[in-house]
Amino acid sequence: MLATALRLLILLELAFYSTLALHFFDATPLAALLFAVAGVLALRLCLVMLVYALGRGQRTPAQRLRCAPAIAMFGAEYAAFIANFVLISPFECWWMGGDRLRPTDGRPPLLLIHGYGCSRAAWWWQRRRLEAAGWNVATINLEPLYTSIDNYVEPLARRIDEVLAQTGAARLILIGHSMGGLVARAYLRRHGAAQVSRLVTLGTPHGGSELARFGLGENARQMRPGSAWLASLGAPPVATLIIYSVHDNYVWPPSCLELPGAQRCPLERLGHLAMLFSPRVSQALLDGLSRVDDSQQSA
């Protein structure tokens, strides 16, 4: 559903900008096409700038960066936005294909859960890194986009059953980006930890985010700081690792990234979407997963 909607949106934008160039600037067809592409890129640049501007006042002086690192971080976040929402997600079937599950080798499989407004395509880069390290990786699409997070729990439960049946594993590891971490926690609240050995979250708003006040749907309202829904989640019943950036541009104030009792892996100079394409996040994930692997082998 998201892929179709994004393709349609991009086509409508290209048509609109091309028409403007042809009728008001007397552009050639090639120039009109280039103008349209620039328009698509410029609109998304403005969106990324707006998100950073909205969250700027939430940072302490110690969390503010010098000019050069800030520009580099902004550029990486903008590139991640374009990669996810313009290049990969609209053409998910080309980039992702099916999950390449195989019988377990003794390690638990991984199930990657995407965040708000995204699809499984958001995991394209990180999935490749995890598979290259030998992990058995599954994904899921959460639909519809704008509904209660609780409505994602049963689809996730069914996907967990499928992954365990296909791999022959007894338990798996849940890895959630952004809202995906909250979906995993909602699953654990309802179904317990019988089929889950560990939870890893990337940039998850465990305490909500002020940006959610501008979002659509019940899931955005549930992610507002102080919501009754967040308070009802309770502590995860499994060992939990939270990987996050202290410079996250979607989750603010930064204290909302914390989860009491969880193992912490704070990073710096990373935007929210850039985490999905970051070698540093990949290394943090693999380091955390290697500790799981080592503990299972010693057991």
Q: How many helices (DSSP H) and strands (DSSP E) are in the chain?
A: 10, 6
Domain of 139, in residue numbers: 98-298
**295 pLDDT above the threshold of 60:** no
Domain boundary among 93, 120, 140: 93
Quote the pLDDT of residue 293: 57
The residue-averaged pLDDT of 220-233 equals 97
Domain boundary among 93, 120, 147: 93
Are 81 and 48 within 8 A, CB to CB?
Answer: yes
Which three-class secondary structure state does DSSP give residue 146? coil
CA distance 88 to 7: 11
The residue-averaged pLDDT of 219-228 equals 97
Strand stretches in the chain, DSSP E: 110-113, 137-140, 172-177, 196-202, 240-245, 263-267
CA distance 274 to 69: 14
DSSP state of 109: P
The one-letter amino acid at 136: N
What's the number of domains the chain is made of? 2
Window from 3-7, 238-242, 288-292 with minimum mean pLDDT: 288-292
Same domain? For 85 and 214 the reply is: no
Which three-class secondary structure state does DSSP give residue 264? strand
Partners of 156 in the β-ladder: none
Whether residue 205 is preceded by a cis peptide bond, meaning omega within 30 degrees of 0, is no
The residue-averaged pLDDT of 185-205 equals 98
Same domain? For 207 and 73 the reply is: no
Predicted TM-score (pTM) of the model is 0.95
Quote the pLDDT of residue 57: 75
Same domain? For 85 and 197 the reply is: no
Mean confidence (pLDDT) of the chain: 94
Same domain? For 82 and 152 the reply is: no
Tell me the CATH number at 263. 3.40.50.1820
Quote the pLDDT of residue 161: 98
Instruction: Output the six-digit token pair for 62.
Output: 């110690």
Domain boundary among 93, 126, 141: 93
Are 126 and 8 within 8 A, CB to CB?
Answer: no
Same domain? For 160 and 253 the reply is: yes
The residue-averaged pLDDT of 221-247 equals 97
Are 223 and 247 within 8 A, CB to CB?
Answer: no
Same domain? For 36 and 157 the reply is: no
Task: Find the radius of gyration of the CA atoms of the chain.
Answer: 20
Quote the pLDDT of residue 299: 41
Same domain? For 84 and 213 the reply is: no
